[in-house]
Amino acid sequence: MSPRPRSLALSFFLALTTACTAAPEPAAAPPGSRTVSVIVGTSYTPSEITAAPGEALRLVFTRTTDEGCGQQLVFPGLDIQRDLPLDQPVAVDVTAPASGRLAFTCGMAMYQGAVVVR
């Protein structure tokens, strides 16, 4: 038996695995989470997302303009940073805090948004 077919299969498997790992988004929302869409123009719409304490949220950010500086998204309290390619939804899974706000901003903290617990 030649080892070649097996190593080809292994290479293909590794390529697939690498491609999956490189994907920026988790494929499926966490069970029970609520999805909220946020448009990134020259501000966030909505800029405040009301949530229950500890609620699981999938925030889907879509940047719709090259104006302004929405290309980067930062959750300072969670150490999360994402690039937002134009017109490509980017999902961020977060858990609302027990109280208060979970802030998100652009790369220079000019655009301000938050998950607000009520």
Positions touching Cu ion (CB under 5 A) are: 69, 106, 108, 110
Pairing of strands 56-63, 90-95: antiparallel
Closest CB 45 distance from Cu ion, rounded Å: 16
Sign of CA dihedral 29, 92, 45, 48: positive
The residues that bridge with 97 in the sheet, in sequence order, are none
Structure tokens at 89: 């939804």
Instruction: Select 69 or 103, whichever has its Cβ closest to Cu ion.
Output: 69
Instruction: Select 69 or 116, whichever has its Cβ closest to Cu ion.
Output: 69
Closest CB 36 distance from Cu ion, rounded Å: 21
Instruction: Select 67 or 79, whichever has its Cβ closest to Cu ion.
Output: 67
